[in-house]
């Protein structure tokens, strides 16, 4: 690690800036792996002093600094430092990434590719929003390591989190000076259940200067605050819980809080078709107050709830949320009932993924036995007609639609929480891509066969000079749209990409486009000699 002498002489922001600008992705991944596999020199401590002095010069006198031997000295030391981190193991790297100071984290910032470590690193308190944005820019320009695209997406998430955090802290400061305003008070109340402890603590500190009865009145659905907006019983329930934990309420206020909670429960019980009311009732089921639990059971008993969760029409996403809540039920036998349901649900999900995997295999078997692919495999004349192409297009569409159908069957699209829904849907999409990635070679051959048909048709309709250019341009357009959909910033083509999963999806989309173009143009019974595409 770098000495305290460097920390005292160089501003942290300047240290980060020059490190990213000069050393981020400075060497290719293969060369890095070779260097990491080689043993460290015995004079590594002496080398560290040289590297520290060179880095100090670079930070303090960037205009006069030249990338001579000192550049290589700094780069090698960063590599030695990262090598030490790798030897420590993944768990220690995660702890270090979360707790280390910025100057100690530079080697991880430069070379780390593990998403678990990077998630801790990005959320480190020393990593400012400006630093994360600078790193994001560097990644867009130089991403060449495995997993860079996915890790950059992770960085985007953390940047959004930090931007949201700054906005919340700013609003808390504003609201704290306007406690005479009910909107400001409710704004602070809404931050009390926040998962970020600093946000919740800041809101609570400001609310200690407010009058408790005033706070409790805002939780009632008949309050004037809710005349111009939809009442949110679930948020108010969580606020009531946070208020009880935060404020030292007098006996009278405790009674008011109890009444407010029962009023919320009564409101929720009126219409359980609304998710927020439904989950307010679920929250009441695990409340420490026996009165709340009994009241919730009169509207929806434990037996009725378990029966509902076993119903295939009940959204699986809602089932997962209920299971998470019931992990905190005060009754052990009840917790065990819902733990059994959770295990059963996990097995059902695994079975559905296995079924999707089998469906993909069956669809490729269907393609392999088609006349089109048999003639392609035998280097014979490709025989095809509109019926053959329509059937191939239908199979390709089934392959492309499989993840969406599975997401629909899990009930994720029926949930109000877009973030949670998209997270689970993305996991299904990743599993689907991993599965079709195993068939990348065959998918490329299908694309070659269909491209030959498309080229023959275009050649018959146009000049020999233009038909191939048109095919290339159309496929590039499909590829461009696909890259935008998966947020890929790589400049290389999908054909050159080493990421099989993404490339396989790109080829399927190209096949879908070509078969659709052929069918719209009217593909009659035709035969052509193969000329293999690159």
Q: What is the DSSP string of 238-261?
A: HHHHHHHHHS---HHHHHHHHHHH
Q: Measured at the alpha carbon of residue 130, what is the angle toward residues 128 and 133, in degrees to the nearest 5? A: 115
Q: Which two tokens stand for residue 275?
A: 């998710």
Contacts 24+ apart (CB under 8 A), 422-425: 424/317
Supply the pLDDT for residue 162: 92
Which single residue is written with the structure tokens 């008070």?
Answer: 185
Supply the pLDDT for residue 471: 66
Q: Which two tokens stand for residue 10?
A: 């160089």
Query: 346: which residues sit within 8 A by CB, 6+ positions away?
Result: none
**pLDDT per residue over 476-509, tens digit each?**
788 887 777 776 766 677 777 777 778 888 888 8
356: closest CA among 392, 407, 292?
407
d(C-alpha 149, C-alpha 491), whole Å: 12
Roughly what angle, to the nearest 10 degrees, separates helices 197-207 and 182-191? 150
Supply the pLDDT for residue 145: 81
First to last CA, the chain: 50
* Three-state DSSP state, 120: helix
How many CB atoms lie under 10 A from the CB of residue 436? Answer: 25
Low-confidence ranges of the chain (pLDDT < 50): 1-8, 381, 413-421, 522-534
- Going through 294-448 in order, the beta strands assigned E by DSSP cover 382-384
Please check whether residue 402 is in contact with residue 360, taking contact to mean a CB–CB distance below 8 angstroms. yes
Supply the pLDDT for residue 522: 47
Query: 47: which residues sit within 8 A by CB, 6+ positions away?
Result: 41, 73, 76, 77, 80
Which single residue is written with the structure tokens 């700054």?
Answer: 166
Please check whether residue 447 is in contact with residue 510, taking contact to mean a CB–CB distance below 8 angstroms. yes
Q: What is the distance, to the nearest Å, from the Cα of residue 25 to the centroid of all Cα atoms in its chain?
A: 24
194 Rama class: left (phi>0) / alpha (psi -120 to 50) / beta: beta
């Amino acid at each position: 690690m770098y000495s305290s002498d460097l920390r005292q002489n160089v501003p942290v922001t300047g240290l980060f800036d020059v490190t990213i600008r000069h050393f981020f992705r400075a060497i290719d991944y293969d060369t890095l792996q070779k260097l990491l596999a080689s043993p460290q020199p015995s004079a590594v401590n002496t080398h560290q002093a040289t590297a520290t002095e060179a880095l100090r010069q670079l930070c303090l006198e960037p205009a006069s600094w030249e990338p001579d031997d000192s550049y290589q000295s700094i780069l090698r030391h960063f590599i030695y430092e990262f090598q030490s981190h790798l030897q420590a193991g993944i768990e220690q790297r995660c702890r270090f990434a979360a707790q280390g100071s910025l100057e100690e984290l530079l080697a991880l910032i430069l070379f780390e590719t593990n998403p678990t470590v990077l998630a801790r690193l990005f959320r480190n308190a020393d990593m400012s929003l400006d630093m994360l944005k600078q790193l994001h820019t560097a990644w867009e320009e130089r991403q060449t390591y495995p997993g860079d695209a996915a890790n950059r997406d992770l960085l985007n998430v953390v940047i959004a989190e930090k931007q949201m955090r700054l906005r919340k802290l700013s609003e808390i400061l504003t609201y704290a000076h306007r406690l005479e305003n009910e909107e400001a008070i409710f704004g602070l109340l809404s931050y009390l259940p926040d998962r970020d402890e600093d946000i919740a603590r800041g809101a609570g500190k400001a609310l200690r200067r407010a009058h408790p009865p005033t706070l409790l009145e805002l939780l009632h659905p008949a309050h004037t605050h809710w005349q111009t907006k939809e009442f949110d019983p679930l948020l108010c329930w969580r606020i009531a819980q946070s208020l009880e934990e935060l404020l030292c309420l007098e006996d009278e206020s405790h009674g008011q809080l109890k009444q407010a909670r029962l009023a919320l429960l009564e409101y929720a019980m009126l219409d359980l078709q609304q998710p927020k009311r439904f989950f307010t009732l679920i929250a009441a089921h695990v409340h420490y107050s026996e009165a709340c639990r009994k009241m919730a059971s009169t509207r929806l008993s434990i037996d009725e709830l378990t029966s509902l969760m076993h119903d295939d029409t009940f959204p699986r996403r809602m089932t997962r949320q209920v299971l998470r809540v019931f992990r905190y039920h005060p009754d052990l036998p009840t917790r065990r009932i819902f733990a059994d349901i959770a295990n059963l649900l996990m097995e059902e999900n695994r079975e559905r993924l296995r079924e999707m995997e089998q469906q993909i295999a069956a669809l490729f078997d269907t393609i392999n036995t088609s006349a089109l692919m048999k003639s392609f495999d035998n280097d014979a004349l490709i025989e095809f007609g509109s019926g053959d192409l329509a059937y191939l297009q239908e199979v390709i569409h089934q392959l492309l639609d499989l993840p969406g159908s599975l997401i629909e069957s899990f009930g994720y699209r029926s949930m109000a929480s877009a973030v949670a829904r998209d997270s689970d849907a993305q996991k299904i999409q990743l599993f689907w891509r991993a599965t079709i990635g195993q068939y990348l070679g065959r998918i490329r051959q299908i694309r070659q066969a269909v491209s030959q048909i498309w080229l023959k048709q275009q050649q018959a309709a146009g000049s020999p000079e233009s038909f191939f250019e048109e095919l290339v341009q159309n496929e590039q357009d499909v590829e461009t749209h696909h890259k935008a959909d998966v947020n890929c910033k790589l400049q290389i083509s999908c054909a050159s990409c080493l990421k099989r999963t993404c490339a396989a999806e790109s080829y399927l989309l190209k096949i879908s486009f070509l078969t659709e173009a052929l069918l719209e143009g009217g593909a009659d019974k035709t035969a052509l000699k193969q000329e293999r595409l690159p």
